[in-house]
Structure 1
């Protein structure tokens, strides 16, 4: 993994405050090159979307959220029984709390990380929440791909390469929560378990209703 990051990519300045620098160091220490590059691309895609649509947001809080958004997949931050998004959100909140940020900022970052895989809700939340959800979706499934000029895509990928991302990200996700597949009920991560594990059985909400202890 590279020892330093550029200051500006595709016209977006990468935060280099003490908080941002320390957050990046945690991602380098506990993440992988795959997660590092993905997280920085997500931040840049999110920021470009904010810039294009003239959305006001806090670059530092968005950056920290992007850095932490997948750290819940790593052994350092993964719990035994919580969704990986919640693990990452808790880690981000604890990190920022140690820097004395306001309760409002802590909650905003928590929501931004926790809801980054929740389309249909995240886009109606605060700017940072909506932007990170967009940035992650653009990098993972290509949402909004056509709206980003090719030269910006190429510059971002030149700094933070995809390096067989399509083939590697699904196993990376699965490795992060295969020990707690029950946490994928009701969210998109169940698709990953179904893809990676032939023995995975989805919990069915209709069956949960019909098999509940109520008599009617």
Structure 2
């Protein structure tokens, strides 16, 4: 189900240490939703690279890695590069983690231009605001939420974005808050899914 490589195992270890349970499950679900969507649409992607990026994509929201200057996705992307190099990846491969983590908060990218970024954008927009619900059948939703429950993710994530918006007014998180993130998160069908 998950890539079995040293880098993948290390990404999970880092994630378990620094994320709250709700954010950890969100990152794992983001990988799984993205992989599910990729398989359904026959999108070829680098599984290890996507897994590492999915697990680290919100690391810039954590206390240990929150930058007082950089938007969370840029701080997290830079940490992704450091992580990749430390895992023994070539600098170019490590830089892909940066690209994916930063791009997931930008305008939509097509799968043929950057499959891993596309998958993370689809997965996180579904996870956070319920975008493209038709891509994720109810039985798959129930199974994934039973294995990796939300644990109050919506409220915790909104609080993180509101904090980012207060301190980093020009960030994508701030733009999201101004664009009614609270209402869009509350309307996400995953938020009203019955607990498993």
TM range (shorter): 0.7 to 0.9
2:159 is paired with a residue of what secondary structure? Answer: helix
Equivalent of 1:91 in 71, 74, 79: 79
Counterpart CA distance in 2 for 1:149 and 1:194 is 27
By how many angstroms is 1:164 displaced?
A: 3.0
Work out whether 1:147 is the aligned partner of 2:135: yes
Q: 2:120: which partner in 1?
A: 132
Instruction: Name the larger-Rg structure.
Output: 1
1:48 to 18, 36, 39: 36
1:168 to 132, 156, 160: 156
Report the RMSD for the aligned CA atoms in angstroms.
2.1
Residue 148 of structure 1, CA deviation? 1.4
Q: Give the match for residue 189 of structure 1.
A: 174
- Between 1:13-22 and 1:65-74, the stretch displaced more is 13-22
The equivalent position to 1:102 in structure 2, one of 80, 84, 90, is 90
CA distance in 2, matches of 1:64, 1:127: 14
What are the Cα deviations for residues 79-119 of structure 1, in whole angstroms up to 9, with x where unaligned?
12111101100111101101221233122211100111113
CA drift at 1:183: 4.0
* Inter-CA distance 105–164: structure 2 relative to 1 (3 Å threshold): same
Q: Runs of 5+ in structure 2 lacking a partner?
A: 182-196
Partner of 2:167: 180
Instruction: Give distance in 1, aligned partners of 2:133 and 2:179.
Output: 26
Structure 2 residue corresponding to 1:29, chosen from 17, 20, 24: 17
Instruction: Write the deviation string for residues 146-200 of structure 1: whole angstroms up to 9, x where unpaired.
Output: 221211111111111013333332013334x25632342xx3533427879xxxx
**Which of 45, 49, 57 does residue 57 from structure 1 map onto?**
45
- TM-score, normalised relative to structure 1: 0.76
Count how many residue pairs are aligned between Structure 1 and Structure 2.
181
Residue segments in structure 1 that go unaligned for 5+ positions in a row: 1-12, 197-216
Greater share of helix: 2
